[in-house]
Amino acid sequence: VMQVWMPPPEAGSSTSYSVLDACESEYMFDGDSKGFEGAQSVRGADGVLYVLGLCEGNHCRSGSKGKDTGNGKVVIMAREETGGPTGGCYWKTVRIVDLPIEGFVDYSALALHHATKAVAITSQENSQIWIGSLTTGSNGEFDPLTAEFEETAVYDMPRAATCAVQYCNVEGIAWVEDGGDESDAPRVLVGVSDKMKSKGKQAFTCLEKDQSFHLFQLP
């Protein structure tokens, strides 16, 4: 987990970000092809900053076990200053929380809207967005020992005119609208897509939306 400093807007495009420090996670994965595919921070009621790490594969595994749908996991972590693999800082596993999502083959991004506790989770393989909530999911209220994800709905990302999947590589998601009243869940998300897989590994309909930003409005 990296702590990054971002320059203020007035600094201009010539000023880049810088990495302040990087600490390994205590949680270990069984291969080098799957890991955390999304992360979100939230301040606990105890004042501790927690990181929610979204596992890419089901059971936090790779291979066939990772495609065993209905077994998504989020790892709640808290930073420790000493005791890591190299003796320095690391992110200690506090708890692993199950996701109430039945059909996702993989999990590619996580967004938490602190004010309303609304959660969005995407799947590349399914080209879908799960919308739910996280109990105690507000800054200053979060309880890592009791927090649970609650389901609301699953939406298909927009399909092509032929009904083919076209959003094939969404790797990031974030809430961009508060939805009016502070108590209302947001209705707009911004997504970003990775490069389309080559050599026929994905359908040609994936090309138009790869390596780009997208705005999604929930119905």
Give the pLDDT score at 181: 61
Question: Which of 121, 112, 172 has its CA nearest to residue 142?
Answer: 112
Q: Which residue has the tokens 């203020």?
A: 8
Across the range 92-119, mean pLDDT stands at: 96
Task: Give the containing element (helix H, strand E) for 153.
Answer: strand 149-156
CB 123 within 8 A of CB 140: no
Give the pLDDT score at 37: 93
Most distant pair of Cα atoms in the chain: their distance:
55
Give the pLDDT score at 33: 65
Helix-strand-coil split of the chain, %, nearest 5 = 5, 40, 55
Across the range 40-69, mean pLDDT stands at: 95
Question: Which of 111, 115, 173 has its CA nearest to residue 139?
Answer: 115
Across the range 1-11, mean pLDDT stands at: 86
Give the pLDDT score at 52: 98
Backbone φ, ψ for residue 11 (5° rounding): -70, -20
pLDDT of 97 > 90? The answer is: yes
Average pLDDT taken over every residue of the chain: 91
141-152 pLDDT, tens digit each: 999 999 999 988
81-91 pLDDT, tens digit each: 999 888 899 99
Say which range, 10-14, 82-86, 108-112, has the weakest mean pLDDT. 10-14
The β-bridge partners of 42 are 50
Give the pLDDT score at 167: 94
Structure tokens at 84: 């890591």
Name the DSSP letter for residue 78. Answer: E
Alpha helices in the chain (DSSP H): 63-66
More reliable by pLDDT, 13 or 77: 77
Backbone φ, ψ for residue 65 (5° rounding): -65, -35
